[in-house]
Structure 1
Amino acid sequence: MKYKFIPVLVLVIILSGCWDSNEPERLVYAHGVGIDYKNGKVVIHLQIINLQGLAKTEAGGDPSSSNASDVGVGTGDTLEEAIFDLYHTSDRRVYWGHLSFVIFSDEALKAGGFKKTVDFLDRYRETRYRIYFYMTKGSIEEAMLVSPIENISLAFSKLSDPEGNYKQSSFIPPIDLREIIIDMDEPSYFVPIPFLKITNQWSGQKEKKKDLLLDSIAIISENKIKTILPTRVMKGGRLVNKNFVRDSVTLFPGTKRDTSVIVYEKKTKMTPVIEKDGKVRFHIKMKLKASIETMQKDTSSKEYEKELKRILKKEIRYTYQYTQEKKVDLYRFSEILYRKDIKKWKEIQKNGDIPLEDDTIKSIKIEVQFQDTGKDKLTPIFENQEDKGHKD
């Protein structure tokens, strides 16, 4: 008889392991954080979202809850103190495992809050490395309360899930916590943070809608803002970005022949060359494909190819000249030399930077392969391509 209760005791011991767990409905989920600095105090904005909106409508999810969110504000002398100020007014325990983005104000960056925040998120046990970083000069709270179009859940907004938008138009690359930590460990590190604005380019049925725009970047170096690169500068910067997928380039701008092409499948190689006088210069080689959606009359494939190469070379050189004046090595020439010839890098570097001069770019060579639009055509776009029409 005494052995009859052994199975019951075993079950009790196993089940008791769940007694101290946190049930999902008893938590609130941090989705985004805003870091500001006012009157000598750290101000934190915490966005809480309703994860019920992720459920499918046919499964009982409420579409109206997909954009439901609240933003709380806490203040303190330190980041941790500001967070605990928020805890005091929270109805439930705040879970940080779903944190998706961080927005800095320019005041917070000027006060040195960037490195402290990165270190805090890197050390905290609940946070993950897929946290995207942004900067704004506008209202952080207003940016957090912007709802995505078409009742898209906030969990898949431009701030929390920017990769899809970037793959369609690779203009401003997103950057997450993992990439930031890597960049900060590189020689002469700088971190490019997307610059966030609020615009009104979309309209609803009843009123204009606020939306978020990323069209420039802020360069963070030595824990402060070094410069903000405008939109026109990023046209050359996108072309050397290793994660580039596709984007549009305008040909024959300002003329009656102006048209756009889509460039994709880009491969870029930068090679350092040591000259006889000891200078280090770089060859840039680029291969890419391009697709033309709208053809102009009396324009051959050779003319398109020549114009595309001209535009791309112009954009690359303009971006280099602008960033060189700002003392920003956007093309990471210092890192390239460090990896290719560390002996020469040690010889010429100063505080991790190599000298960048007007003629540092020795040559730019671009190979272009034009493709058709991808749809069936009765005649080929260019005379040297196969007929894509239907065949018997």
Structure 2
Amino acid sequence: MKKTKSALIFLLCVFFLTGCWDSNEPERLVYANGLGIDYKNGKIIVHLQIINMKGLAKSESGGDPSSLSAADVGTATGNTLEEALFNLYHTVDRRIYWGHLSFVIFSEEALNMGGLKYTVDFLDRYRETRYRVYFFMTKDSIKDAMLISPIENISIAFSKLSDPDDNYHQSSFIPPINLREIIIQLDEPAYQVAIPELKITEQWSGQDKKEKSLLIESVTIISKNKIKDFLPKNVMNGGRLVNKDFVRDSVTLFAGTKKDASVILYDKKSKITPIIERNGKVRFDVNLKVKASVEMIKNDITRQQYESEIKRSIKKEIKKTYQYTQKRDIELFKLSKLLYRHDSEAWKRMESEGMIPLDDDSLRSIWIEVELQDTGKQKLSPIFEGQRD
């Protein structure tokens, strides 16, 4: 009798268990990878890139190699972002899952209409999206940019848009920016956000035709929820060298001469120190320590000449970037923020709408230490006398 009661209780417990009846199986979902936002004729235009997640699995595990670079882009319009997305939902076969959203691309018109803050707030509030969503802008076609496939046999989930960190670690020129970093900067007084700018180019070729690819070599500065300015490639050269996330990049030496050469900079350590002078003016000392590697040697250039030219080139790039941005009230070096952290009382006395006044000579000194660490593989048989390992 006791066994019968126990069995009955067990069956009743099983009956009331909910199980996974209301779960969504992965293969039944549509995965959003990228979102494009445009604005024309008073309407918001959204472009949604969806990808096949089977391409991420290895072929021996059941993955589909043909789906690696496959992507579809849907387009819809609306008076608001939500309306445009729901108009797009009406055309999709399955539920769209937003947990794998990797990037957002804005048009110039969308940014000037205040699209950055609105989109950031939308993504921050939605329960499925993560903070590792990267932001870009383009003056070219958003839809064309989202349909560009990466190099063959690389999943579109690992493209320059979806995973820009890997490319940045090889050439630290334009730093990517994600949703978390933008939220932090939007809360700063007189915020300025630097968003990488995409350009469609044809620098790669396949066996039959030229292949389109995405080029990132300039940034768009957003301030007060609209575009403030565009910074071209030659201006960003100095900005990369004070960026805290810098990993490695090349610098051209002796430009325009027969001695022109390039070196790889890496292991960079930088510090900018605010100095408050007796007259109350604030100036800044830039201290930079970097290692360099010579990949191609010129026989008539000595170690000392290399190190001296590296210092001169870096100093010139930093000065050029500062002078260009200072004249346009762009805080690429974030000097106001540095003073606030160093001396908040001094910052309060000087600031106007969150920014302190800067002059042509606000950079008091630029001190650079260069160590020519090695010459690539040649460090086993040093080229320079007294080569350090």
What range is the shorter-chain TM-score in? over 0.9
- Cα distance in 2 between the residues matched to 1:288 and 1:153: 35
Q: 126-135 or 373-382: which moved more?
A: 373-382
The farther-off stretch of 260-269 and 293-302 is 293-302
Pick the aligned partner of 1:258 from 257, 260, 264.
260
Opposite residue 9 of structure 2, the aligned amino acid is: I
Inter-CA distance 377–104: structure 2 relative to 1 (3 Å threshold)? closer
Measured in 2, the distance between the counterparts of 1:143 and 1:240 equals: 30
Distance between the aligned counterparts of 1:46 and 1:378, measured in 2?
52
Does the CA-based 8 Å contact 1:267-1:286 persist in structure 2? yes
**Contact 1:168/1:245, CA 8 A, preserved across alignment:** yes
- Percent identity, please: 66
Q: TM-score, normalised by structure 1?
A: 0.96
**Counterparts of 1:253 and 1:374, CA distance in 2:** 22
Answering whether residue 128 of structure 2 is matched by residue 126 of structure 1, we say yes
Offset from partner CA, 1:240-278 (integer Å, 9 cap, x none) = 100000000011111111111000010110011111221
Aligned residue number for residue 140 of structure 2: 138
SS of the residue aligned with 2:267?
strand
Is the counterpart of residue 365 in structure 1 residue 386 in structure 2? no
Q: How large is the Cα RMSD of the aligned pairs?
A: 1.2
Q: Deviations over 1:329-377 (max 9, x none)?
A: 1100000000000001000100001001000000000001112234255
Alignment deviations for residues 262-312 of structure 1 (CA, whole Å, 9 cap, x no partner): 000101100111112211000000001000011111211110011000000
Aligned residues: 386
Q: How much has 1:23 moved relative to structure 2?
A: 1.1
Equivalent pair of 2:190/2:224 in contact (CA under 8 Å): no
Question: Partner amino acid for 2:360?
Answer: D
CA distance in 2, matches of 1:159, 1:378: 39
Hey, what does 2:65 align to over in structure 1?
63
1:380-391 pair list within 5 angstroms: 380-385=382-387
Residue 278 of structure 2: which of 255, 267, 276 is its match?
Answer: 276
Offset at 1:317?
0.3
1:318 matched to which residue of 2? 320
Q: Give 1:294's aligned residue.
A: 296
Q: Check the 8 A contact 2:252/2:263 in 1, yes or no.
A: yes
Which residue number corresponds to residue 6 of structure 1? 9
Alignment check: 8 A CA contact 1:48 1:71 kept:
yes
Which residue does 1:230 correspond to in 2? Answer: 232
Give TM-score scaled by structure 2 length: 0.97
| Separation of aligned partners in 2, 1:377 and 1:288 | 18
Structure 1: how far apart are the matches of 2:287 and 2:30? 50
Separation of aligned partners in 1, 2:380 and 2:161 = 43
Alpha-carbon distance between aligned partners in 2 of 1:206 and 1:298, rounded to the nearest angstrom = 44
SS of the equivalent of 1:323 reads helix
Give the whole-Å Cα distance in 2 for the aligned partners of 1:348 and 1:315: 28
Residue matched to 1:85: 87
1:87-109, CA deviations, whole angstroms, 9 ceiling, x for partnerless residues?
11111111100000000000101
Q: Give SS of 2:185's match.
A: helix
C-alpha distance in structure 2 between counterparts of 1:378 and 1:81, whole Å:
63
- 1:168-183 mapped onto 2 (5 Å cutoff): 168-183=170-185
Distance in 2 between the 1:255 and 1:197 partners?
A: 31
What residue ranges of structure 1 are gaps of 5+ in the alignment?
none
Output the CA distance in 1 between the equivalents of 2:254 and 2:378. 27
Where 2:227 maps in the other structure, the secondary structure is strand
Residues in 1 aligned to 2:8 and 2:250: alpha-carbon distance in whole angstroms: 73
Match of 2:20 in 1: 18
The one-letter code sitting in structure 1 at the alignment partner of 2:229 is T
Structure 1 residues 276 and 75, CA gap change in structure 2 (3 angstroms): same
CA distance in 2, matches of 1:140, 1:5: 62
The offset of 1:158, in angstroms, is 0.3
Contact 1:372 1:381 in 2 (8 A): no
The whole-number CA distance in structure 2 between the counterparts of 1:241 and 1:206 is 40
Partner residue of 1:379? 381
Amino acid paired to 2:331: D
- Is this contact kept in 1: 2:69–2:152, CA < 8 A? no
User: Mind listing any 5+ residue stretches in structure 2 that lack a counterpart?
Assistant: none
- Which digits, 9 at most, give the CA deviation of each residue in 1:115-166, with x for residues without a partner? 0000000000000000000000110000000000122111000000000000
1:305–1:91 Cα change, 3 Å = same
Establish whether residue 150 from structure 1 lines up as the match of residue 152 from structure 2: yes
Bigger shift: residues 301-310 or 271-280? 271-280
Conservation of the 8 A alpha-carbon contact between 2:202 and 2:210: yes
Quote the residue 2:309 is aligned against.
Answer: 307
* AA of the residue aligned to 1:182: I
> What SS does the aligned partner of 1:371 have?
strand
Whole-angstrom CA distance in 2 between matches of 1:211 and 1:346: 46
